[in-house]
Amino acid sequence: MARQRTVPDELIVEAALLLMNRLGPEALTLAEVGGLVGLSAATLLQRFGSKDALKRAALEHAWDQLGETTLTADEGQPETFDGALAIIAALSPSADPASEFDGGLLLLREDLRDPVLRARGIAWLETLALALGRRITHEPSQRRKLGRLMVNQWQGAQIWWAFNRKGAAQDAIAADLREWYAALNLPR
């Protein structure tokens, strides 16, 4: 008779993700994650097969969470530019954006190395671009393009805020996006 699992896999992948966010993907060890969830490294090896499989599961979990957050934000915001800004705010770190941003870049590198995770990123970009594009223009043929450009502007604004760290991240990024939107000079 198999023993009942006292620690669900989801809790383990969340602990792995937290560890990688805080210390980088290289810090991920089965022993370290096991210490966070109260299981032995051998137990984690039995469940996931390898450290790389646990890392992949954690990164897949992160994409799942981001997808859910994106859909929820899309459903809850008006079809206006302010609604687009609210979606971006929902997708941005809230507590300490500097440390979350730094850790996120390390995780992004892992996503770029893995073709499955890269495909998840491309699919998410398409979803987000359309959600933002509907709020930027009423012209259906321009929605994907303008939404994608807004994502690019957001990510660029986030990177440059991370360099200078002047003011609150969300305020600085929103100001940059408002300036970008005004420069488009779209009919209102």
Report the CATH number that the domain containing residue 35 is assigned in CATH. 1.10.10.60
CA geometry: angle 54, 5, 58, nearest 5 deg = 20
* Model confidence band, residue 4 (pLDDT cutoffs 50, 70, 90): low
* Pair (94, 157) in one structural domain: yes
Q: At what angle do helices 97-113 and 9-23 cross, to 10 degrees?
A: 110
Q: How many domains does the chain have?
A: 2
Give the number of other CB atoms < 10 A from CB of residue 105.
Answer: 12
Could you tell me the pTM of the whole model? Answer: 0.87
Asked which of 44-48, 102-106, 125-129, 133-137 is least confident by mean pLDDT, the reply is: 102-106
* Pair (183, 91) in one structural domain: yes
Selected residue with higher pLDDT from 188 and 183:
183
Range of the domain at 139: 77-188
In tens, the pLDDT along 14-28 reads 999 999 988 889 999
* Pair (171, 89) in one structural domain: yes
Handedness of CA 172, 175, 180, 181 (dihedral sign): positive
Across the range 57-66, mean pLDDT stands at 94
* Pair (86, 164) in one structural domain: yes
24: left (phi > 0), else alpha (psi -120 to 50), else beta? Answer: left
- Please give the pLDDT value at position 179: 96
**Domain annotation covers residue 66:** no
- Please give the pLDDT value at position 99: 58
Q: What percent of the chain has pLDDT over 70?
A: 92
In tens, the pLDDT along 160-181 reads 998 888 888 889 999 999 999 9
* Per-residue pLDDT at 98 exceeds 80: no
Average pLDDT, the chain: 90
**Domain annotation covers residue 70:** no
**Domain annotation covers residue 83:** yes
* Pair (122, 185) in one structural domain: yes
Q: What percent of the chain has pLDDT over 90?
A: 73
